[in-house]
Amino acid sequence: MDKIFLRDLEIEAVIGIWEWERRITQKVSIDLEMAADARAAASADQIEGALNYRDVAKRLIDFVGGSQFELVESLAEAIARVIVVEFHVPWTRVSVAKPGAIEGSRTVGITIERTTEDFA
């Protein structure tokens, strides 16, 4: 299995449980791994047949930027659904981090793995 990855995609979003967090945007950082069979695209050296990570990034920027989740867990689940369902990816690993959420820690977050069976 091949894996396409995207690291440190930073997006401003409304995220958090506290009232003051609901009035502002905060940066979230997203890491993705997505299963793909890259052999055909690689041998043809053409974008056709490839998982277009630019399209994935643009979709997530729009989706996350317009979202208003309370929990990073909920945001990660929603991102996984977008990747699996909209981009027909059989497996994904999604990490969502919220930098600066805990004093003394660079970042906190969650990593989940989902497959097509999770969204059937």
State the residue range of the domain holding 81.
2-119
3-state SS string for the chain = CEEEEEEEEEEEEEECCCHHHHCCCEEEEEEEEEEECCHHHHHHCCCCCCCCHHHHHHHHHHHHHCCEECCHHHHHHHHHHHHHHHCCCCEEEEEEEEECCCCCCCEEEEEEEEEHHHHC
Q: Distance (Å, rounded) from C-alpha 44 to C-alpha 39?
A: 9
pTM comes to: 0.95
Percentage of the chain exceeding pLDDT 70: 100
Q: What is the CATH number of the domain that holds 46?
A: 3.30.1130.10
- Tell me the backbone φ, ψ of residue 40, rounded to 5 degrees: -65, -45
pLDDT tops 90 at residue 95 = yes
Q: Distance (Å, rounded) from C-alpha 85 to C-alpha 83?
A: 6
Q: Distance (Å, rounded) from C-alpha 26 to C-alpha 10?
A: 10
Residue 3 known to be catalytic: no
Half-sphere exposure of 53 (CA within 13 A, CB side): 13
pLDDT tops 90 at residue 48 = no
pLDDT at 63: 98
Could you give the number of structural domains in the chain?
1
Given 3, 27, 58, 98, the catalytic residue: 98
